[in-house]
Amino acid sequence: MENVIVLGSGPAGLTAALYAARANLNPLVITGPDLGGQIATTTDVENFPGFPDGLTGPELTEYMQKQAERFGARFEFDTVTSADLTQPPFKLVGNVEYEARSLIITTGASPRKLGVPGEKELVGRGVSYCATCDGFFFKTKELMVVGGGDSALQEGLFLTKFASKVQVVHRREALRAGYVLQERARKNEKLSFIWNSVILQVLGDKAVKAVRLKNIQTGEESEKPVDGVFVYIGHIPNTDIFKGKLAMDEEGYLIVDGKLHTNIPGVFAAGEVHDKWFRQAIVSSGYGCMAAMETEKYLASLE
């Protein structure tokens, strides 16, 4: 029986583990499939406070994990596939069964797919959702990034370190990314934009060779040669195992109150599993702190 289980190991989960550990709750962190979550696949993290020179996503993950472990947090590399939240103790099932008096859900959100012909077939052969993971393999190649938010521009700029040319495809004529990123992108000679357009198909046999585009204003279709497609068009919350068990909105994000309580007492949520607006590591860390502090109060109330 655990006092608290932290489900997920991104910035929200690692911060929750740190605060719960410092409160002597001896938390168990069930990492999920990827320790560190999305931040662990980011090359340059320049806006996390305390690191004036910046650092990499894997470095930030490692530092946060070690800090939590220093105070007694424990890590289990497992993925939970079902959950019984009908009453405490809450029961989770992965490779083994877990029981906990309280639960902090920080399972985050996963990249949204294009859902077009050729995408699934060419994943790992030119289609990617992680520039950090795959950018190195595209030296001197021509690449396409899909999206118009911070992630699309961040990864597009990163890819210019390897590619000869990066084209950003956006379905609108205005970006959603922050001003600084937009300025960097516009000043980068390797990076250009294709506006008001969507990808209809990814073309290629054993590797990506081209994409078929459609201008959504004119209806005109065209084919553009490209060696790789990197997709950044949003996320889907990782909440499938909680459907019908926890309150969530129409998109599947968990619904919490101002103190991160879900509709079930003793179950809290933190990070991108409920936050669909900010999507920043520091914001998720703040939520992780809040959830751990509320968990401590909840457990104390049971005594």
**Cβ-based neighbours of 183, under 8 Å, separated by 6 or more:** none
**Which SS3 state, helix, strand or coil, does residue 75 take?**
strand
Q: Which of 84, 133, 205, 257 is catalytic?
A: 133
Phi, psi of 104 (to 5 degrees): -115, 115
The bridge status of strand 191-194 relative to strand 165-169 is: parallel
289 is catalytic: no
Residue labelled with tokens 């489900």: 7
Count of CB atoms within 10 A of residue 187's CB? Answer: 8
Q: Which of 78, 134, 227, 275 is catalytic?
A: 134
* DSSP line for 181-230: HHHHHHH-TTEEEE-SEEEEEEEESSSEEEEEEEETTT--EEEEE-SEEE
133 is catalytic: yes
CA distance 132 to 141: 16
- Residue in 31, 9, 27 with CA at minimum distance from that of residue 19: 27
CA distance 159 to 230: 9
- Residue in 134, 138, 150 with CA at minimum distance from that of residue 190: 138
* Residues labelled catalytic: 130, 133-134
